Amino acid sequence: MIRITLPDASVREFPGPVTVAEVAASIGAGLAKAAIAGRVDGQLVDTSRAIEQDAHLAIVTEKDADALEIIRHSTAHLLAYAVKGLFPEAQVTIGPVVENGFYYDFAYKRPFTPEDLAAIEQRMGELAAKNEPVVRRVLPRDEAVAYFKGQGELYKAEIIGSIPEGQDVSLYREGGFEDLCRGPHVPSTGRLKHFKLMKVAGAYWRGDQANEQLQRIYGTAWASKEALAQYLTMLDEAEKRDHRRLGRELDLFHLDEYSPGMVFWHPKGWTVWQQVEQYMRRVYQDNGYQEVKGPQIIDRTLWEKSGHWEKYRDAMFTTESEKHDYAIKPMNCPGHILIFKQGIKSYRDLPLRYGEFGNCHRNEPTGGLHGIMRVRGFTQDDGHIFCTEDHILPECVAYTALLQQVYRDFGFTDIIYKVATRPAARIGSDEIWDKAEHALIESLRRSGCEFEISPGDGAFYGPKIEYTLKDAIGRQWQCGTMQVDFSMAERLDAVYVAEDSSRRHPVMLHRAIVGSLERFIGILIEQHAGALPAWLAPVQAVVASITDGQAEYAANVAKMLQKQGVRASVDLRNEKINYKIREHSLQKVPFILVVGDKEKANGAVAVRARGNQDLGVMPLADFLQKITSDIAVKV
Active site positions, annotated: 333, 362, 380, 382, 384, 464, 510
Longest Cα separation, the chain: 98
Q: Nearest-CA neighbor of 588 among 291, 240, 303, 324?
A: 240
For residue 125, how many other CB atoms are within 10 A of its CB? 14
Dist. CA 3–CA 1, nearest whole Å:
7
Please give the Cα distance from 590 to 586 (Å, whole number): 11
Length of the chain equals 635
Can you give the C-alpha Rg of the chain in angstroms?
Answer: 30
Alpha carbons within 13 A on the beta-carbon side of 145: 14
First to last CA, the chain: 68
How many degrees, rounded to 5, is the angle at CA 569 between CA 568 and CA 573?
A: 155
Backbone angles phi, psi at 2, to 5 degrees: -110, 130
**Rounded Cα distance, 5 and 278, in Å:** 61
Question: Listing from the earlier edge strand, what are the strands of the sheet with 2-5?
Answer: 11-14, 2-5, 55-60, 37-40, 43-45
Q: Are 17 and 2 in contact (CB under 8 A)?
A: yes
Cα three-residue angle 324-326-331, rounded to 5 degrees: 160
Q: How far apart are CA 230 and CA 236, in angstroms?
A: 10
Surface-to-core class of residue 176, CB atoms within 10 Å of its CB (0-12 exposed, 13-18 middle, 19+ buried): exposed
Instruction: Identify the H or E element spanning 263.
Output: strand 263-265
Report whether 46 contacts 173 (CB < 8 A): no
Q: Kindly tell me the burial class for residue 366, based on how many C-beta atoms sit within 10 Å of its own C-beta (0-12, 13-18, 19 or more).
A: exposed
Which residues make beta-bridge pairs with 616?
A: 607
Alpha carbons 266 and 263: distance in angstroms, whole number: 9
Cα–Cα distances in angstroms (integers) from residue 508 to residues 304, 352, 500, 511, in the given order: 18, 10, 21, 10
| Buried b / exposed e along 505-532 (16+ C-beta atoms within 10 A) | bbbbbbbbbbbbbbbbbbbbbbbbbbbb
Asked if residues 82 and 112 have their Cβ atoms less than 8 Å apart, the reply is no
Calpha distance 284→276 (Å, rounded): 12
Burial class (CB within 10 angstroms; exposed 0-12, middle 13-18, buried 19+) of 430: exposed
Please report the beta strands in 556-612, taking only residues with DSSP state E, as ranges in sequence order: 568-571, 591-595, 604-609
Contact call for residues 71 and 222 (beta carbons, < 8 A): yes
